[in-house]
């Protein structure tokens, strides 16, 4: 999954790139975000571990994986 996360970082959408410029290096109220972070069985677009916040920008692909997500959270 780490390799897939690296690939997603390299292939970031323009929206993800733009948001990352706002979030990186503690620019958002001092909170440190990570992008394309592996969490359990998922890769999330952005995560702030300190605030326990996950941001998904283009989550429409998750609609197709609803059954998988339900089983994993199960």
Q: Domain count of the chain?
A: 1
Sheet with 34-39, side-by-side order of all strands? 34-39, 42-48, 53-55
Whether the pTM exceeds 0.85: the reply is no
Alpha-carbon torsion 25, 32, 22, 64, what sign? positive
Task: Output the average pLDDT for the chain.
Answer: 86
List the structure tokens of 4: 């897939």
10-68 pLDDT, tens digit each = 999 898 999 999 999 989 999 999 999 999 888 999 999 999 999 998 766 666 666 77
**Which pLDDT score, from 0 to 100, does residue 41 have?**
87
**Which pLDDT score, from 0 to 100, does residue 62 have?**
60
| Helical H segments across the chain, by residue range | 2-10, 14-23, 66-73
Domain span holding position 31: 2-73
């Amino acid at each position: 999954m780490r390799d897939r996360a690296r690939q997603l970082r390299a292939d970031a959408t323009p929206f993800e790139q733009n948001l990352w410029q706002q979030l990186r290096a503690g620019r958002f109220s001092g909170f440190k975000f990570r992008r394309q972070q592996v969490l359990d069985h998922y890769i999330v677009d952005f995560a702030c571990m300190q605030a326990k916040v996950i941001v998904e920008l283009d989550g429409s692909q998750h609609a197709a994986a609803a059954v998988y997500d339900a089983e994993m959270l199960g």
